[in-house]
Amino acid sequence: MMKQNLRSNREDFRRKFIVLCILQEYYSGNLWDQQDNWKDNLIKLTETKYQEEIDLFREGLKLVANPDIKAMFDYNRLFVGPGKLLAPPYESSYRNPKSLVMQKETLDVRAFYSTVGLISLNQNSQPDDFLALELEFMGFLLFNAMMYFYDDNDRSEHFINLYTRFLEEHLGKWISQHCEEILTQSTSDFCRGMALITKGFIEHELMLKEEIAV
């Protein structure tokens, strides 16, 4: 049943991967060093055609044309500092009762990474549940599902199951709240747009997961 569903959505893998890569790049902060590349990203995002299925994605796309310096200052207030972060990009900030990083919530994510033999490059300096890492991890799982798609269906399915589980147990548990914080606190169209895209995309993924489960 599941295999059928995945096979029939093979094109989706590519689309999802593109979105995850761009979101990962956005949250890792690389964007601000390579703003010229943003036009390419915008084209890629548009080509996924998610705007035709996801309302928030469509709304978001309209806002993200111009990552200007005001957007960067806003981005730093939201995710980087030096002040109290308005929308911290860490799972534990939403799921730990006191919003602390490196607690059980972070270590659970670490443990999840280790089930496929991965660790954070900056383990114990960068919290494992940093959003850019969680997105990278999702991308990795998807990439592997894609890799083994033709040669090893079981293996491919294993990765897509992990993808679904991570979504269900981690990213999907907090991303909406995180994006809501951005939408409340942000002063730039760009960051609001990216929040809409992120929220729209991940919520769509969660919805698909439920369909698969049915």
Partner 1 sequence: MNKGISRRSFIKGTAAAGAALGLSGAGFAFSGLKAADASEDMGTKVFQNACPRNCYDTCSILSTVQNGVLTKIEGNPLNTFTRGRVCAKGYTYTRRVYSPDRIKYPMRQKERGSGNWERISWDEAFTVIAQNILKIKKEYGSTLPICLNKYSGNFDILHYGIEGTLSSIGNTSRATGTPCWPAGIDSQTFDMGTIYNNDPEDFVNSKYLILWGVNPAWTSVHSMYFVEEAQRRGCKIVVIDPILTQTATKGDLYLQIKPSTDGALALGMARYILDNNLYDLDWLTANALGYEEFFHYLKQNITIDWAAEKTGLPKHVIESLAREYAAAKPANIWIGYGMQRHVNGGQNVRAIDALAAMTGNIGKSGGGAQYAQLETWGFNYHAMIQSKPEGSGGNGDRAININNFGAEVLAAKEPPIKMLWIACRNPMTQDPETSVVKKAFEAMDFVVTVDQFFNPTVEMSDIVLPSTTIFEAPGVNVSYWHYWLCLNEQAIKPMFEAKSDVEIAMGLSKKMNEIEPGSCTFPTSGDLKDWVGKEFNAGILKQFGLNDWKELEKGPAKAKAGLIAWEDGKFRTPSGKFEIWSEEAKKFGHLPMPVYREELKSGSEYPIRCISPHWKLNIHSQFQNIDWMQSIHNSPFIEIHPETAQKYGIQEKDNVKMYNDLGYIVLPAKITETVAHDIVVVYEAWYKDQNFNVNYTVKAIPSDMGKKATGMTGLAFHDNFVNIVKM
Which bin fits 85, alpha (ψ -120 to 50), beta or left (φ > 0)?
A: beta
Instruction: Give strand pairing partners of 123.
Output: 126
Cβ density class 12-49: b for 16+ within 10 Å, e for less: bbebbbbbbbbbbbbbeeebeeeeeebeebbeebeebe
Q: Provide, rounded to whole angstroms, the least separation between the CB of residue 205 and partner 1.
A: 17
The interface with partner 1 within residues 136-175 (CB under 8 A) comprises 136-137, 139-140, 143-144, 146-147, 149-150
Our CB check for partner 1 shows the closer of 114 and 210 to be 114
Residue closest to 91 by CA, chosen among 154, 150, 176, 152: 176
Tally of residues, the chain: 214
Q: Does 119 sit near partner 1 (CB under 8 A)?
A: yes
Q: Does 10 sit near partner 1 (CB under 8 A)?
A: yes
Among 106-114, 157-165, 169-177, 199-207, which window interacts with partner 1 (CB under 8 A)? 106-114
> Any residues with CB less than 8 A from the CB of 171 and at least 6 apart, and which?
91, 134, 135, 138, 202
Contact pick of 76, 161, 176, 185 for partner 1 (by CB under 8 A): 76
Angle between the 55-63 and 189-213 helix axes, to the nearest 10 degrees?
160
Q: Does 24 sit near partner 1 (CB under 8 A)?
A: yes
Q: Does 17 sit near partner 1 (CB under 8 A)?
A: yes
Residue numbers at the binding site for partner 1 (CB under 8 A): 10-11, 13-14, 17-18, 21-22, 24-25, 28-30, 32, 34, 37, 40-41, 44, 72-73, 76-77, 80-85, 88, 90, 92-93, 98-103, 107, 113-114, 117-126, 130, 132-133, 136-137, 139-140, 143-144, 146-147, 149-150
